[in-house]
């Protein structure tokens, strides 16, 4: 998909994580723009120090004890937790005539807790589209992006009612990490997005992505009338879109 970037973002609720979502398309990708509750690896945290040490090379519990200068039993306890969370893996390696030695290695999931520059790449990509092309080409690129993003959603059947479509859309956005749900009020529906993937982008770029988001919704919900009731870009706690016929 030409303009759909993907990122694996993981939730880790015991300590200092960075990202909390599932594979998602361009307009859902984020780094510092994920959510107000986003956490990061912190160097003063023991588990973080273990992961940082394992970035350089595979190490044994004794190696980590010497590096971190803490009790070996504490190191092993932290390693057990990290292994249970899928952030480190253990393996045995035989050296000489002695017993095999147990080493720990950081997993791909563990590495993804550390900073990258995907957010910067996203911002530069959007800015290039907005400023680097004339309006006609920028519009064509936006059209292409909308169509490609629609392919990420469940197929809508012709016989689907508006409620069926709203339910499918809400579930798909929720699985993408937007923490989306819907409610019915007086014959209309309200889609609520509790997480904004665009909030920490510069305002102009964020609004451009919001426009893409709304166009995707319109394409999926066809004849529905979609009105923005709340927006996190305007200072609201959630984004809410009222959907009627």
| Chain mean pLDDT for the chain | 78
Q: Count H helices, E strands: the chain? A: 8, 6
58-72, 134-148, 167-181: range with lowest mean pLDDT: 134-148
- Which among 56, 88, 111 is the end of a domain? 111
Count of domains observed in the chain: 2
Could you tell me if 197 and 223 lie in one domain?
A: yes
- Which among 111, 145, 164 is the end of a domain? 111
- Which among 86, 111, 136 is the end of a domain? 111
Could you tell me if 103 and 155 lie in one domain?
A: no
Could you tell me if 167 and 145 lie in one domain?
A: yes
Residue bearing the bigger pLDDT, 71 or 29: 71
- Structural domain containing residue 158: 118-244
d(C-alpha 230, C-alpha 226), whole Å: 12
Q: Decide: 174 and 167 in contact? Cβ < 8 Å.
A: no
1 domain residue, yes or no: no
Token reading at 182 = 């819907």
The reply to whether the predicted model has a pTM over 0.75 is: no
Q: Could you tell me the sign of the dihedral formed by the alpha carbons of 185, 164, 234, 139, in that order?
A: negative
pLDDT, tens digit (0-9, with 9 covering 90-100), for 229-241: 998 888 888 899 9
Residues 6+ apart with CB under 8 A from 138: 129, 130
């Amino acid at each position: 998909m030409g303009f759909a970037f993907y990122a694996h973002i993981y939730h880790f609720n015991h300590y200092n994580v960075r990202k909390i979502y599932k594979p998602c398309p361009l307009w859902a990708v984020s780094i510092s723009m994920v959510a107000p509750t986003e956490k990061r690896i912190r160097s003063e945290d023991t588990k973080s120090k273990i992961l940082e040490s394992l970035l350089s090379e595979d190490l044994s519990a004794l190696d980590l004890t010497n590096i971190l200068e803490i009790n070996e039993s504490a190191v092993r306890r932290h390693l057990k937790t990290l292994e249970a969370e899928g952030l480190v893996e253990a393996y045995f390696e035989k050296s000489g005539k002695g017993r095999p030695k147990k080493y720990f290695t950081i997993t791909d999931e563990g590495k993804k807790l550390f900073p990258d520059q995907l957010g910067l790449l996203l911002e530069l990509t959007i800015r290039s589209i907005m400023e680097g092309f004339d309006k006609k080409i920028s519009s064509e690129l936006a059209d292409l992006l909308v169509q490609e993003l629609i392919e990420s959603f469940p197929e809508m059947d012709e016989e689907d009612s508006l409620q069926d479509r709203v339910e499918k859309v809400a579930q798909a956005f929720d699985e993408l990490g937007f923490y989306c749900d819907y409610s019915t009020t007086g014959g209309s529906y309200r889609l609520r997005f509790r997480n904004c993937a665009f909030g920490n982008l510069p305002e102009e770029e964020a609004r451009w992505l919001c426009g893409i988001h709304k166009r995707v919704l319109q394409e999926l919900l066809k004849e529905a009338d979609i009105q923005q009731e709340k927006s996190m870009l305007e200072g609201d706690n959630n984004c809410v879109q009222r959907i009627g016929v």
